[in-house]
Structure formats: C-alpha cells, structure tokens
Chains A and B, each alone.
Chain A
Amino acid sequence: MTAGTLLTVDNLRLHFGTTKGTVRAVDGVSFAMARSEALVVLGESGSGKSSLARALLRLLPRNVKAYSGKIALDGVDTMKMDDERFRREVRWVKISLVPQAAMNALNPVIRVGDQVVEPLLVRRAAEREAAWQRAREMLQRLGLPADFLRRYPFELSGGMRQRAALAMALITRPELVVLDEPTSALDVLTQANIMNVLKQIRRESTTTFILITHDVATSSELADRVGVMYAGQIVELADAARFFREPLHPYSQKLMASVPRLRARQKLEFIRGEPPSLIDPAPGCRFAPRCPLRFERCDEDPPLFEHGGRHVRCWLYEKER
C-alpha cells in the first residue's frame, strides 16, 4: 500500500445466478484510489456499473453466485470480515452510498430529518441532539434550509430530495462515498446545482468519491480519473484530462464520438451491434463483435495493458506492437 491510498480493489467478481445462466455483472475489476480522489465509472446500462457499487458496499441480492476478490480499505481487507463486522465498521461508517434514483429512495412516511440522522443513531455514533445538530449543519452545507428536516419527502422537489439523500450519505463523515447516477433523473439546472454542491464538498474536505454514470458530459464535471466499464470489466482506466482528450480503447473512442456536444458541430457516430450480454460471455475481448479495429488476437481475452500511465484492456496496446 502506497501512502495516501484509500482503496484497493483487486480482481473483484460479483456473479448472479439466473434461470438463463450466470450473469457476470462484475468480472475481475481491479483499481486503486488515493484519498480525496474522484473516480468516475463510466458505462452504459448493463455494463455492471451499479453492481460494482453494490459489491463495494456488500449490498447483495439473494441470487449471488460468486462474490470474491479483495476490497482493501485503509489497508484492511473488508472481504475477510463477516457481515456483522462489515455492517458495524464499514457500511455507512467508512463507505456510504447514494443509490440510483435516490430522490425516490426516501421513505415517504418518515420526516426527512429522521431519515438523515438515522445512520448516526443506529450506530450510536451520536446522541439525538448532537445528531440533529449535525444534520442541520449538513443541510446548510448542501444549500437547503434547516427547516426542511421537519418536512416529508413529497414536500420537496427532486433536486432537494437528491440533496437530502446526499446528506444521509455524508452525515457519518465516511471516507468514501459511492454515487450511483446521482443526477440522471434530474433537470439540467438541478443537475448543475448538484454538481456544484459536490465540487464544493470536494474543495472543503478529503472525502473520496466514486461517481457511477452513463453520462459522459456530466462525468467530466467531477472526474480526476475515469474508468470505463464494458460487459462487467474495466476496459480503460486513465486520468480525466487525458481520457477526455484522447481515449484509447476503441469502445471509449466510439462512446465519446457518440456524445452530442452543444458547442461543437461534429459528425456523430454510433456503435454498431447490440450491447453485450453478461450471461456467459464468449471468450475473447468482449467488445470484439462490435469493434471496428478487430484482428485475430481479439479471440483471446486481453489483459489490462499499461500505456503511458494509462490502462487499456485491448490488444492494440500490447508492448511488442
């Protein structure tokens, strides 16, 4: 472990058993993160990005077929902990989650405030009064009036509820916050607002963020580094400045070329073929069936190659070439 490393994920797998076969939602994902870094996990629907979030927080459905690998947080392998210890020491203490469509994840019959302080009270991390005080401060930081704590979720707009969910995730002062599509159901202005709030938090604290999204443009608002997911695997991992200028993996390149830009008139491209199935994928590179640059080597599984400080799962970047 190097100094400043907060999280090391090594060969993480999360497979689900279904009647149609094994769904390899997360299939050998490895990456490391420094403290106070922001990593964006970029992927289309069905790429396994939300399953990665679940795997990190051990929020697993019942049909898990395989759950293995290493998740080291501050040097401690959380995969070796039993569920009770994980719940007490890791989930919502060190890692918290803002789930997808978080604004609809709030309990409609409980006041916002009671939901925001719950993570503190459940773990007896604070007395009732202190917890409410912290909730008020948290809301203020997120730009919401403190009297919102007394309201019910239906009284708030989507953007306000999203911020309440963010307050729930931040109140225990976790080291790592996983945001699963935090802005995808929100309007443009509300989205810009939430991104501003997140940027502000990053300036004022050392919180580390993993932002999971399908939205390339929004991802550039927060990213220090970008990991592109395709069919359960990370196919490219690079720092944001270089990734957005010059993506390396053919999938990343095609994805970037398919994003309409407001301020440029470029020819838009699209990716031929169908998105891959996560059920028993064929051997070889998973993007090969849709790849314009496919060659013989692609019938074999490519490892993650290093290429000038970036990592690419593509035979084009094999050293000998």
Chain B
Amino acid sequence: MRTSNEAQSRAASAKDPPLLSVRNLSTEFELRRWVFGRAGLVRAVDGVSFELRRGEAVAVVGESGCGKSSLAKTILGLYRPASGEVVFEGKNVASFGRREMRWYRAQVGYVQQDPYGALPPFMTVRRILEEPLIVNRAGNKRERERRIHEVLEEVRLTPVADILPKFPHMLSGGQQQRVVIARAMILRPKLLVADEPVSMLDASVRVQILELMRGLQQAHRLGLVYITHDLSSVRHFCERIFVMYAGKLIEKAKVDELIDGPLHPYTRALLAAIPDPDPANASILKPVPPGEPPSLLAPPPACRFHPRCPEFMKDLCDVKAPADFAPEPDHSVLCWLYDEGLRRAP
C-alpha cells in the first residue's frame, strides 16, 4: 500500500481534468396537498457549482435541512436535477440511459449515514458484497469470492471467514459501517459519496472509520465528497471545505484557510459556536446569530442569511443576491462584504 505522502503528491494535480463537475446545479421538490394542487416548491439545492479532481477529498458542511443530503443524492443520480448538470469524466449524468447509469453506479460508491438501515437485515455479509458484483456481471464465482476477500481485508474486517456468514445485526455499529464502506468499494469506484458516515457512531469509533475512508481514498486516488455537520472532524480528512446554507454553497476554500480565516459571516458564527474540550467554555456565553435556519419553502430573498447576519447592509443584502466573490485565490464567498467595487466606494 502506498504511504499517504506519496498518495498526496499524486493527488489533485491541477493538470488532471476534473473527475466531477457540478455546474449551477439545482434540485427541487414539489410539496403536494392531499390530492390535487401544489403546496409549494422546495429548492433544496440552489445553483451549486464546484469541481472535484481525482485523489481530492472535499467536505460539504452544513446544518440539518440545508440541502447537503439532497446535493449528495443528486450527484449519485438518485434525484434528477431541476436545472444545471452533474458531469462525471466529461459526461452529463442526466443524459445517461440504463446501461450508462449502471456504469455510473459502479464508478460512484455511496456510504450511507445509518449503517444498520443501509444493510439488508436478511442477507449475510457475503451476499451483501456479492450482489453488486453479480448485478454488474463482474467475474465468475471464484473471482467474486476473491474480490470480496480483498475488500474485507482493505476495510480491516478480519478474519474474513468469520465475518462472511454474519448477518448485519450480529455486527457492532463500527463493523456495520465497514461493511457499508466495503460495499461502496467493491466495484472499484473512482468517486465516493459519504453522507454523514460517522454521525451514528461513538466518538472512539468515529476516528477509526474516518481514517479508514481517508486511507482508501488516498490509496486508490478516489474523489471523495464527505457530507457532514461536524466541522471539527473535517480538518483531518479533507483538502477543501464547502459551507452550505439554505441550499447554496456560501463559502469554498482549502481546509486550513477556511478554519483559520473564515470570511462569510455565517461561517464565522458556525466556527465560533463549535466548542473544543476546554473547561474555560463553562464561563463564557457564546455569540449566536438570532433566529433559525430558513425554511427552503420560502427562503428569504437575496442573501439567504441576511435576516440573521450581524453585517447586514440594508437595501443591498435584502435586495440583490450576492455574487460569488473570490477575495483570495481558491477561496470564494457568497457575500457582498467582499465586493471590491463596494469596498472602494466611500
């Protein structure tokens, strides 16, 4: 196995064409009344754009209801985009027919949040891992068996022979999540989409699972989209962070830049609210922006954060949606504070 340094030097070189391009992507859901009529339109993902290269891990961080899982599922092809496109290796996913979709599903591994819910309870681990190989007609019985062994060793579920005949309920939460990861890896994908992969696990197991995923991602030069609400775990496992608020990616930057120098007022508030274990926390009240994250059914006009924002500028933030400004290279932010023209004005 390659060491992480070698893997990193091979990772994400700018010359590579992007593995995944998400272009101005929006995903909508129609809320229906009982029989007839529409109750409204929920725009869960709203004009999201980013590129991901092979060997690169990005985290999409946001609070519940911000649309991060909808973004993951749209990338996976489970939801149809309302507009915009998901482009994988230069091909638009929306244009895929049945066969291409099967190919795409083999290229993209999905690690779900709740491992117990994601594993069929009546199948053994062997059967769970063999299924994708059969569906994709990958090899004969012997080759399939060899691949299953290989993958289980990679996710460190050993001795393999003991694990194979087990049903999901016979495994611990951490082991179940390893099976989910093994299933995501079994067809040798190029991209992993992990939606809150450790939020159901205990603290002492979380790090193990995150390190395992990071190891696999680097060893196989995978692209990784890591969806999470837990910013403190991100620094160790990703290159870039995208902060999502009310369907939009409001800030995109390299991990250290974002954590050490957040630009968007929402990102700043979020970072300030996250505690590190420190007894000094008990004696201070934290500044928290007022209000709640907006409903995606009727989000505030223009900047979605303006009703809660401490930097709110009247007749601008509530009238005109901010553009994507890039005050530093590779650091973009959806906020009028970073409009050069505006700052030069008196």
How far is A216 from B277 in the complex, measured between Cα atoms in Å?
6
B266: nearest residue on chain A (CB-CB)? A189
Q: Is the CB of A260 within 8 A of B232?
A: yes
Which positions 270-318 of chain B face chain A at CB distance < 8 Å?
A: 270-271, 273-279, 281-282, 285-286, 288-289, 292-293
Render B181-209 as a binary contact track against A, CB cut-off 8 A, 1 for contact. 00000000000000000000011111110
B211 at the interface (CB under 8 A from A): yes
Q: How far is the CB of A315 from chain B (nearest CB, A)?
A: 22
Q: How far is the CB of A57 from chain B (nearest CB, A)?
A: 25
Q: Is the CB of A262 within 8 A of B288?
A: no
Q: Is the CB of B274 within 8 A of A262?
A: yes
A275 at the interface (CB under 8 A from B): yes
- Please indicate the chain A residues that have their CB under 8 angstroms from the CB of B208 in the complex: 270
B166 at the interface (CB under 8 A from A): no
B231 at the interface (CB under 8 A from A): yes
Out of A157, A269, A270, which one reaches B205, CB within 8 Å?
A: A270
Q: Is the CB of B63 within 8 A of A258?
A: no
Q: Given A193-B288, A261-B277, A262-B276, A214–B202 Cβ distance below 8 Å?
A: yes
Interface size class of chain A, counting residues whose CB lies under 8 Å from the partner chain: 35 or more
A224 at the interface (CB under 8 A from B): yes
Q: Is the CB of A217 within 8 A of B232?
A: yes
Q: Is the CB of A268 within 8 A of B236?
A: yes
How far is A224 from B63 in the complex, measured between Cα atoms in Å?
29
Q: How far is the CB of A191 from chain B (nearest CB, A)?
A: 7
How far is A277 from B289 in the complex, measured between Cα atoms in Å?
43
How far is A245 from B204 in the complex, measured between Cα atoms in Å?
19
Render A86-114 as a binary contact track against B, CB cut-off 8 A, 1 for contact. 00000000000000000000000000000
A44: nearest residue on chain B (CB-CB)? B202
Nearest first, the 4 A-B pairs at minimum CB distance are A192-B273, A187-B63, A271-B204, A44-B202
Give 24 pairs: A residue, B residue, CB < 8 Å, sorted on A: A187-B64, A200-B285, A220-B275, A220-B281, A223-B279, A224-B282, A240-B282, A245-B279, A255-B203, A256-B277, A258-B203, A258-B206, A259-B203, A260-B207, A261-B276, A262-B231, A262-B274, A265-B235, A268-B207, A268-B211, A270-B204, A270-B206, A270-B207, A274-B174
Apart from A223-B279, A258-B207: 6 A-B pairs, beta carbons within 8 A: A160-B292, A200-B285, A214-B202, A241-B279, A260-B235, A271-B204
